[in-house]
Structure 1
C-alpha cells in the first residue's frame, strides 16, 4: 500500500512536469512557426516590391505605345477627311461647270433690250449720281464721299463770309434755344452763317430757313476759285420724325461773281434729290478757268413745304489761282 501510495503521490508531480515540458515545447514550436511566418511575409513583400518596380519601369513604354497608336489613328482619320473634302470640292466644281453650260448669264445689252428707253435713262441717271458724283475711288480702291476729298472754299473758318444784302430774309421760326435745367434762357435767331459753319453732325432744326419755296443765298469765298463742283448737305430723311424732308431745296441755280456788285454768271442748274444721299455733290456742266470771288445760290423750288425752305450746309469746290 505504501508503494502504491507513493506511486500515486509521484504521478501528479510527473504529470505536472510533463505538462510543463509540453507547454515549453509548444512555445518553441509557436516561436518557430511565428519566425517562419514573418520570414515568409517579408519575402512576399519583397517580391511584391520587386514586381511593382518592374511594372513601373515598363509602364512609360506602354503609354508611349498607346500614344503612338492614337496618333496613327488621328493621322488616318485626317487623311480620310482630306480625301472626303477633295471629293466634295471636285463634285461642286463639276456642278458649277454644268450650271454654267446649262444657264448662261444674259449680257447687259440683252437686258437693256428688254427695258424701255425711259427706264434705261432713269437707271443711267441714278448710277451717274450714286457712283460718279457721290463717290470717288482713291488709289487703294476705298470709297469716300467726293465732297470730303475736296477743299471747301465756302467754309467760314477759312475766311468765307455771308453777303447779307443778297440773302433772303430769315424765316421767323428759324431759331435756336439755349436751356438751363430744362428752362429756356435764351432764344437766338439762326442766321445764314449757319450754312457755312461746317457743323457736324447735322441735327434736326439746326439750319437756316427762308420763307416760301424760293430764295437766295450769297457768300464771298475764302479764296478766288476756278469752281468745279458744289455740294448741298441736308438732314437725312431717316433722321426726321416724319421720314420726309419736304423743306429741302429741290431745283437751284448757281451764279459766280467776280465782284459782289455784279449780277453774276450762271454756272449751272441742279436738282437735289430728296431720296438720295444726304450729301450730294454736283459737277459744273461747263467749268471754265475764270476765277470767282463770290457765288450766289438761287433756290427755285423745294420738295413741298409751302412755308419755308431749309439750308443746312453749302460747299464750293475748285482750284485756287496759284494752282
Structure 2
C-alpha cells in the first residue's frame, strides 16, 4: 500500500542533514517497525501520471534481468525495496508528482535506495544525486521546499527536512501534491531509479 508519513513533533528537533540510523544489514521488516514508531501511515497516495516522467525499461529496451519489465512510478510508494524493485526513468533528470489523499503541511521527505552491498551489479550509479522538492497548489502553482543532495554512500533511507518556506513562517501552507524533481544521478548514462519515497508532515 502507498504510505504517507504524518510526523509527530519530534521531527522538528532533527537537523536537516541528519540521516536516520538504518544499516544495510538490518532486515527490511525491522526497518518497517522502526519507521512505524516514528510516523503514522495512511493509504491512498497515487502518482499523477500526466506530470510524471515516463518509465524506463520493458521489452523495447535492455537494462538488465532486474528491469525486464518497466516498473510503474507507483512502485516508489510501495514498502518493498528489494533489489530491482524501483521506478526507473530515462536519463539523469526526471520528475514524479505524488497526489496525496488529503492536504498536508510537509516537514520532511525520506528517499530510499539500495546500497552497493546488495546491488547485483555492485554499484548504484543510477541513484539520484541532486533533487528538488516542490509543493504543488492547483490554483497557485508550485512552491519550492528545498534543494537536496542524496549521498550514494549513506544510509539506504535518508531524510531531508523542508528548507524553504514562504517558508518556515506559520501558518505553513498545506499541499495536495508533492513534486520530486531529480536533477542528476551518480553517473549512470541510461537511467535513474528511485526505490521509495515518503512524505512527513501535519494535517
Report the TM-score when normalising by structure 2: 0.73
1:124 paired residue number: none
Structure 2 counterpart SS, 1:151 = strand
How far did 1:152 drift? 4.8
Is 1:150 equivalent to 2:39 in the alignment? yes
Pairing of 1:26-45 with structure 2 (within 5 A): none
Q: Note the C-alpha offset of 1:133.
A: 3.8
Are 2:188 and 1:305 aligned?
Answer: yes
Unaligned runs of 5+ in 2: 1-14, 22-30, 61-67
- Structure 1, unmatched stretches of 5+, are 1-126, 136-143, 176-186
* DSSP-derived class of the 1:165 partner: helix
Cα gap change, 1:128 to 1:258, in 2 (>3 Å):
closer
- Give the match's secondary structure for 1:190: coil
SS of the counterpart of 1:217? strand
Go from structure 1 to structure 2 and tell me whether the alpha carbon gap of 1:317 and 1:266 turns closer, same or farther (over 3 Å shift). same
- What is the match of residue 264 of structure 1? 142
**C-alpha displacement at 1:174, in angstroms?**
8.6
**Rounded Cα–Cα distance in structure 1 between residues aligned with 2:160 and 2:59:** 27
* Shift in CA distance, 296/174, structure 1 to aligned 2, threshold 3 Å: farther
**Residue equivalent to 1:162:** 47
Aligned to 1:245: 124
Q: Structure 1 residue 194 and structure 2 residue 75: aligned? A: yes
State the Cα deviation string for residues 180-217 of structure 1 (Å, max 9, x = none): xxxxxxx7531101111222xx2111111000000001
Q: Is the 8 A contact 2:98 2:179 kept in 1?
A: yes
Structure 1: how far apart are the matches of 2:16 and 2:99?
A: 30
- TM (normalized to structure 1)? 0.47
Q: Which 4+ residue blocks in structure 1 deviate beyond 6 angstroms?
A: none
Relative distance call for 1:230 and 1:191 in structure 2 (3 A) is same
CA RMSD for the aligned pairs?
A: 2.7
Question: 1:134 is matched with which residue: 16, 20, 32?
Answer: 20
**In 1, Cα distance between equivalents of 2:59 and 2:173:** 36
> More strand per residue: 1 or 2?
2
- Give 1:294 shift: 0.4
Count of paired positions:
167
Q: Could you say what secondary structure the match of 1:195 adopts?
A: helix
What CA distance in whole angstroms lies between the structure 2 residues aligned with 1:238 and 1:217? Answer: 27
- 1:273 equivalent to 2:159? Answer no
Instruction: Compute the displacement of 1:235 (Å).
Output: 1.0
Q: How many angstroms does 1:262 deviate by?
A: 5.5
**Is the 8 Å Cα contact of residues 216 and 299 (structure 1) preserved in structure 2?**
yes
- The aligned runs of 1:28-107 (5 Å cut-off) are none
> Residues 265 and 174 of structure 1: is their aligned pair in 2 closer, same or farther, counting only changes over 3 Å?
farther
Using CA pairs under 8 Å that are at least 6 residues apart, name the structure with larger relative contact order, 1 or 2: 2
Aligned to 2:65: none
